[in-house]
Structure 1
Amino acid sequence: MTTTDPPPFEPSTIELKSVADSKIISVSLYSTRAEITRLFKFVVKTGQNQVHIAGLPNVLETESLRVEGRGAATIHDVTVSLAKGEHVPTSSPKLSELLKSRAKTENALTRCEKALTSLEQYLGSLTVQHLEVSNLDNVLEQYDSTGGRLDAKKTELTEELRVLDEQISAERARIAVPHENSELRMQAVIGVFAESEGGVEIALIYAVPYATWTAFYDIRVDMDTKENPVTLIYKAAVKQNTGESWDDVPLQLETSTPTFGLAIPTLSPWNLNVYRAPAARSALLSVSASSAAPMKRMRKMSRAAEVGEALDMDMDMEYAGASVTSKGNVSATFRVPWPGDYSAAMSWVSVPKIDPKTHLNARITNESEYTLLAGTASVYVDGSFISRTAVPAVSPQESFDCPLGLDPSIRITYHPVLKTRSQSGFYNKTATTVFSQRITVHNTKAVAIERLKVLDQIPASQDSQIEVKLISPALTLPGEGGASLGTNKRASVVPKPLVVSVGTGVVAQWDGADEPACDMEALGRDRKLNWLCSVPAQGKVNFTLEWEVAAPANVQIAGL
């Protein structure tokens, strides 16, 4: 054929196996499915080539398949079908030769064993009538010589047979790999036209279900570190049963949800008419069929069979960490690994009226440019596992609270309450009881702590005859109390501060006053308050809650 001759009309056929002749170069894993990119490299002939690719997963979503060509070739029609069953090779020229050699060796071993048996029988048949005493030495010498030679031959043949059995097993394993995988029976036929003979690459990109990932975290706290004491390690739990192996593949974790063949919905006619009672008649069912617009792809594709059933075996993997490669709250792409230090404000909280134990908490701020997905977290403090907690979806610069368990090194004593009762009034006597509750905080750590919050409360009156007044700390409700400025009747009233200092490193406030979303109108209405403390190493802090309850002397108060 000269260079001016047209390419042959009959297409050249190229047979490829998906697993053996390609490599997965990318897996984009979404919450319910994965997108696989497989790269094939092969040589085409001038003219039309038909590339048969076998061993694709049964669960492949055919409407998602697209083919990209790389090289001096043009891709034509792509056809996908489910193989009904392929011949699995059970023999090979090498296996045939090995089997022949084994048969010969086995026959030789059988003859050798029969010769040894005959030699023993011959020696046992000799008697004095048949053998003179003068010939006995010669017979025994020949027996030893022949028997020794046969024994050595038997040992040699037995070893040769063992080696042949090993070679036969290895060859059978070789020709049977890969076996026809019942979960990898989808096949594709791709038309490739080449202007000249040479190497080309094609990438098959397709989606498969039965693959998912979820986010979870390790939160590690180093109590001896002042700056960045919290390290958050992003992890991903990957589960797939697509039938394909994902060993050593580049994996991207996606938060968006892909849509294949999803059409824009259409509105059906909405008509009004005069209602008429239906006449007795047979019901007719009208069914309208609609088809979703196929996903835009490079080449035409048709489907010749339905997808097979899902696999029974799951494949579980765990990826520690994930580095983000695209931004946004709607979707993000992650690659492993991604540990990170996050801004964290450590705090301690105790409600000694209920339980004197102290709870350690970290308010972690997401200072990255990417959203943290909702998931579970394993919490470690100073290398020890503490608990598991839930991490919500956290946008950039948003914070979330992470409980870190109990801190036994902060000891709080809730002393018995002291009561002082008195009466006043001549005709209408009023009984007043002053309650004094002392609280002691002891920091047994070798380092100082800050942001210790101790919560308590005073009772709230539900009757106009009972008056409850907070004495210490001197907090007032927003807009109440304070001193008047000026002498005119319109003088403004300056309320007392919502936060008061009650000692070195200790301030008191209505509970919730330091929250970003504080409702000023509701502040203190539940009569809950707290102290914020800074306690030195091996130091103690004392503060007192004092309030009084006044009511008519003849009134019995319930709830004290």
Structure 2
Amino acid sequence: MTTPNPVSRPRANTSNKKPNTLYLVSTEASKITNISLYSGRAEITRSFKLALTEGQNQITIRGLPQCLQKDSVRVEGRGNASIHDVVISKTPLASDTETTSAGSMYTPDRKQQELKNQIASIKHARAVLDAYLGAFNAEKMVVSELVDRFASHALLARKLDNEILDLEQALAEQTESAKKQRHGSQAEAMHLPWQVAIDVWAQADEEEATILIVYAVDNADWAASYDIRADTRSSGKNVTIHYKASIRQDTGEPWVGVPLTLETVTPAFEMVSPSLSPWIIAARAQPGYVGPGVHIVQPQTAMPAYAPIIIQDRPSRSSSRSRSRSRTEMPVMQHRPVIVATDKGDVTATFRIPGRINVPSDAQQHNVTISSFEFNAPLLWHTVPKASARVYMEAKIKNESEYAFIPGPANLYVDGSFVATTSIPAVSPQETFNCPMGLDSSLRVTYHRQEVNNSVTGFYKKSTTKTYTQRITIANTKSAPIANLKVVDIIPVSQDERIEIKLLNPPLRPAAGEPVDLQRTTSMASAEKDSTSKEQQSKSDRTRVSPGVVARWDGAGDPEANQDVVGRNGRVRWDVSLRPQETVNLVLKFEVSYPEKLVVEDRRWPQAVTYGY
């Protein structure tokens, strides 16, 4: 079906044939062939099968939803015909008369009147029957003939009475149906008020032409959600992700048995690349005296030609004060509005839901599973016992599927038990992300009370030395080993050359890139020379403390960590491997030395803590 050339008009209908008029209700005369669901809207394609006659065909399709976006409607067709005109408008309020696709008129009031007329006619026949029976002269009839007449009367009267009862029941049902239909039409007019009028010219009679109407609607949305199930006892594919879509629609028309496509495309708001205006720096303009009590601030030629700014002074104040105030009251330079765009880029994907689904128009969330994936994801544990004795678990997952994960909430299940809710970020195929898996109560961490020893050394220049010892105990109550437990603690760092901090245990070398003063104030039990190779340096940053325990500065060797601050922030890390039912003890020992009369403050707290003189 095509749109004709404006110059070449179709041949005039010489037979003065009336246009073929068709009235269709969208939800009854069509089926939805596709729904593309975006964030905040949906694009719906409806297919209509209808018969066209040669010449002009005027098709009116009613019952399109209230939330229809008028500018989005487009009409296509399949058949030996051309589309001449498309008009989109609100359906006028109609009476009880409805028009069918065949063009015949169906009036509920007329049907009721027909039933009433039939009832009146049968009642009249019943009355005639009674009058006919009363006209007989019983004295002139034998008994046997009289019995036959009474029997015939009773039989015919019973038949008429039953017909009256049936018709009265049909009238009551028709009246109730018309009432419901009237209310339904009013409700439908509120929720489905739009109509499309299409003028089609057919070259010949077409028994089965196809009209496609594509339109966008609001009040439809979808969001990604996930179920993440982890099995800590499995050595193979230990993480399963169920990728789901939460669909909601309140468009006014139900989606019954429809094919659904989920779109993640985000519309682009800036189609033209931005440009930069000149950035001008110039000397501040000096005010000039133009009259008593009046100063004018005139911009220099290098500045844009703004209108002069007149500042009135009070007559009682001196000109010097006027000049001072004029300088302080110059207008504030304004910045151009900043347009903020995402720094990661949009993750776009298209998901076609297999089969057909039903989504009622009820504004409720309906969950549909997109797919399920199994991953071999290493499990990691970490704890910061100084802040909390809890052990946190996470999985390092590589998205090996062909689907892009879009941001959405996730329910976490570990070993079959629900543990927490989290969220999944935007993840492209083959991208790796860390997924929090909640707390692991089977790992017990004890952060013991810190031990502090004080000593004073020196004869003329006395100094105070405080030695701190912190013990950490970790017990694995699992029946399975733990291979990736990260424990992080911290020692203080000095910002004063008079305060010297020494890390005694674990014996770690100064991190690469530390300034000279920090290397002087931070020492270790056994130092090693700097290695020229980064690989050798990374290995030397690690110190084996005990079987299954390796110590290093937190972030050392991590490509995602800023190596310039590794070790300078005082964070110490142990990488611990535990056998089933094993317990390990970690020791953090350091000393702080400073002149005896120097007041030392701990700046971690809102108020300074004095350590001594």
Aligned counterparts of 1:350 and 1:275: Cα–Cα separation in 2 = 61
Contact 1:11 1:47 in 2 (8 A): yes
CA shift, 1:425, in A, is 4.0
The one-letter amino acid paired with 1:251 is L
Identical-residue share of aligned pairs (%): 39
1:548 and 2:565 are equivalent in the alignment: no
In the TM superposition, what whole-angstrom CA distance separates every residue of 1:351-389 from its partner, at most 9, and x where no partner exists?
212221212223333333443222222223333332222
Contact 1:91 1:175 in 2 (8 A): no
* Correspondence 1:41-56 to 2 at 5 A: 41-56=49-64
Aligned counterparts of 2:25 and 2:196: Cα–Cα separation in 1 = 10
- Which residues of structure 2 form unaligned runs of 5+? 1-12, 98-106, 127-154, 276-302, 310-360, 513-518, 603-610
CA shift, 1:22, in A, is 0.5
In the TM superposition, what whole-angstrom CA distance separates every residue of 1:121-173 from its partner, at most 9, and x where no partner exists?
xxxxxxxxxxxxxxxxxxxxxxxxxxxx9xx99x9899969965785477548
In the TM superposition, what whole-angstrom CA distance separates every residue of 1:452-487 from its partner, at most 9, and x where no partner exists?
11111112223322211112212122236844599x
Aligned counterparts of 1:230 and 1:98: Cα–Cα separation in 2 = 70
CA shift, 1:100, in A, is 6.0
Distance verdict in 2 for CA 1:462–1:102, change over 3 Å: farther
Give the structure 1 partner of residue 228 of structure 2. Answer: 219
CA shift, 1:431, in A, is 4.1
- Secondary structure, aligned partner of 1:522: coil
CA shift, 1:15, in A, is 1.6
Aligned counterparts of 1:483 and 1:377: Cα–Cα separation in 2 = 47
- Secondary structure, aligned partner of 2:389: strand
Distance verdict in 2 for CA 1:107–1:441, change over 3 Å: farther
The one-letter amino acid paired with 1:367 is E
In the TM superposition, what whole-angstrom CA distance separates every residue of 1:187-245 from its partner, at most 9, and x where no partner exists?
11212222332211111011122322222322222333333322222233333332222
Aligned counterparts of 1:29 and 1:208: Cα–Cα separation in 2 = 10
Aligned counterparts of 1:259 and 1:6: Cα–Cα separation in 2 = 52
Give the structure 2 partner of residue 283 of structure 1. Answer: none
Q: 2:258 aligns with which of 245, 249, 260?
A: 249
Contact 2:509 2:528 in 1 (8 A): no
1:525 and 2:568 are equivalent in the alignment: yes
Give the structure 1 partner of residue 44 of structure 2. Answer: 36
CA shift, 1:20, in A, is 0.6
CA shift, 1:410, in A, is 0.5
Aligned counterparts of 2:502 and 2:477: Cα–Cα separation in 1 = 35
CA shift, 1:175, in A, is 6.0
Higher strand share: 1
1:345 and 2:378 are equivalent in the alignment: yes
The one-letter amino acid paired with 1:532 is D
Distance verdict in 2 for CA 1:544–1:26, change over 3 Å: same
Give the structure 1 partner of residue 108 of structure 2. Answer: 91
- Secondary structure, aligned partner of 1:19: helix
CA shift, 1:250, in A, is 1.7
Q: 1:317 aligns with which of 319, 341, 365?
A: 365
The one-letter amino acid paired with 1:184 is L
Distance verdict in 2 for CA 1:415–1:85, change over 3 Å: same
Contact 1:477 1:523 in 2 (8 A): no
Aligned residues: 454
Q: 2:29 aligns with which of 21, 46, 50?
A: 21
Distance verdict in 2 for CA 1:158–1:103, change over 3 Å: closer
Aligned counterparts of 1:156 and 1:40: Cα–Cα separation in 2 = 45
CA shift, 1:514, in A, is 5.0
Aligned counterparts of 1:13 and 1:200: Cα–Cα separation in 2 = 15
Give the structure 2 partner of residue 354 of structure 1. Answer: 387
Aligned counterparts of 1:378 and 1:106: Cα–Cα separation in 2 = 72
Give the structure 1 partner of residue 494 of structure 2. Answer: 461
RMSD: 4.1
Give the structure 2 partner of residue 203 of structure 1. Answer: 212
Contact 1:373 1:394 in 2 (8 A): yes
TM-score under structure 2 normalisation? 0.64
Give the structure 2 partner of residue 386 of structure 1. Answer: 419
Aligned counterparts of 2:490 and 2:170: Cα–Cα separation in 1 = 88
Aligned counterparts of 1:349 and 1:244: Cα–Cα separation in 2 = 51
Distance verdict in 2 for CA 1:365–1:43, change over 3 Å: same
Aligned counterparts of 1:166 and 1:504: Cα–Cα separation in 2 = 91
- Secondary structure, aligned partner of 1:353: coil
CA shift, 1:176, in A, is 5.8
Give the structure 2 partner of residue 373 of structure 1. Answer: 406
The one-letter amino acid paired with 1:506 is V
Q: 1:478 aligns with which of 511, 520, 525?
A: 511
Contact 1:379 1:388 in 2 (8 A): yes
Distance verdict in 2 for CA 1:387–1:543, change over 3 Å: same
TM-score under structure 1 normalisation? 0.70
In the TM superposition, what whole-angstrom CA distance separates every residue of 1:475-520 from its partner, at most 9, and x where no partner exists?
122236844599xxx9xxx968222221222211212225432211
In the TM superposition, what whole-angstrom CA distance separates every residue of 1:78-136 from its partner, at most 9, and x where no partner exists?
12221221233461776556556778999999xxxxxxxxxxxxxxxxxxxxxxxxxxx
Distance verdict in 2 for CA 1:555–1:258, change over 3 Å: closer
Contact 1:94 1:171 in 2 (8 A): no
Distance verdict in 2 for CA 1:188–1:442, change over 3 Å: same
